[in-house]
């Protein structure tokens, strides 16, 4: 079992190495770039930034909380184009796209999932966008902009919902989304309060 999970993780990490390359390839003027061209690109830095070397807020406790709460367990970076599963776990859209190539279970709880029932967690993305845009780390800003342009994973959003059990699915998704939104709003308020206190202390 451990060997199997290790092999899956290795496969996903290998596939994820093309995440940033994919996003870059779609920002060029050549719209006919194929997979081979993408994979052979060598002049793009596709190494994700180590969050342990970056402080997102002036409050260390809040900084740790944000990194733990809004971390994608696949790429171990802040969520980008966040997608929420019915089990309540959230991941980057691009990470899920590559994960589904080798497994149809949740990367965390291993519950069987159907990619027809994945929703966007827009509030999380908006919160993280504002947090990073108002920060001082240009590398993190550029990486986020780049990853938000990832195109291949849009295939996940092209599937239509089945009519079967739509009500139960909708209720589950709504409940999970409301809980997530409430947490994001609470965290965002703490960040704003911390920022206000910080600038007030500077002016004293």
Domain extent, residue 150, equals: 51-157
100 φ/ψ angles, rounded to the nearest 5 degrees: -65, -15
Specify burial of residue 10 (Cβ count, 10 A radius: 0-12, 13-18, 19+): exposed
How much is the pLDDT for 106? 92
Tell me how far apart the alpha carbons of residues 39 and 173 are, in angstroms, rounded to a whole number: 36
CATH of the domain at 58: 3.30.40.10
pTM of the model: 0.57
What is the side-by-side order of every strand in the sheet holding 90-92? 90-92, 82-84, 119-120
Q: What is the pLDDT of residue 82?
A: 92
What pLDDT score does 48 carry? 79
Per-residue pLDDT of the chain (204 residues; tens, 9 = 90+): 445 544 554 455 455 544 443 333 333 333 333 333 333 222 334 567 888 778 888 888 888 888 889 999 999 999 999 999 988 899 999 898 889 888 889 999 999 887 677 888 888 999 999 988 887 788 888 888 888 887 767 766 665 444 344 444 445 555 555 566 666 667 666 666 666 666 666 666
pLDDT of 194: 66
Is 63 a member of any domain?
Answer: yes
pLDDT at 146: 86
82 part of a folded domain: yes
- Residue 17 in domain: no
Q: Which are the contacts of 96, defined by CB distance < 8 A and separation ≥ 6?
A: 74, 83, 115, 118, 153, 156
The number of domains in the chain is 1
Say if 8 falls within a structural domain: no
């Amino acid at each position: 079992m451990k060997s199997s999970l290790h092999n899956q993780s290795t496969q996903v990490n290998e596939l994820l190495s093309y995440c940033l390359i994919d996003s870059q390839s779609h920002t060029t003027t050549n719209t006919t770039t194929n997979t081979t061209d993408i994979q052979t690109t060598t002049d793009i830095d596709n190494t994700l930034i180590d969050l342990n070397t970056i402080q997102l807020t002036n409050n260390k406790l809040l900084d740790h909380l944000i990194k733990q709460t809004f971390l994608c367990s696949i790429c171990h970076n802040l969520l980008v184009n966040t997608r929420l599963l019915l089990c309540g776990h959230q991941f980057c859209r691009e990470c899920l796209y590559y994960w589904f190539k080798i497994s149809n279970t949740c990367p965390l709880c291993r519950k069987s999932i159907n990619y027809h029932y994945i929703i966007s967690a827009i509030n999380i993305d908006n919160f993280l966008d504002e947090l990073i845009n108002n920060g001082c780390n240009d590398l993190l800003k550029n990486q986020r902009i780049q990853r938000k342009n990832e195109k291949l994973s849009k295939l996940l959003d092209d599937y239509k919902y089945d009519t079967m059990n739509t009500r139960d699915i909708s209720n589950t998704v709504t409940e999970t989304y409301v809980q997530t939104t409430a947490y994001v709003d609470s965290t965002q308020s703490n960040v704003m309060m911390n920022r206000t206190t910080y600038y007030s202390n500077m002016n004293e």
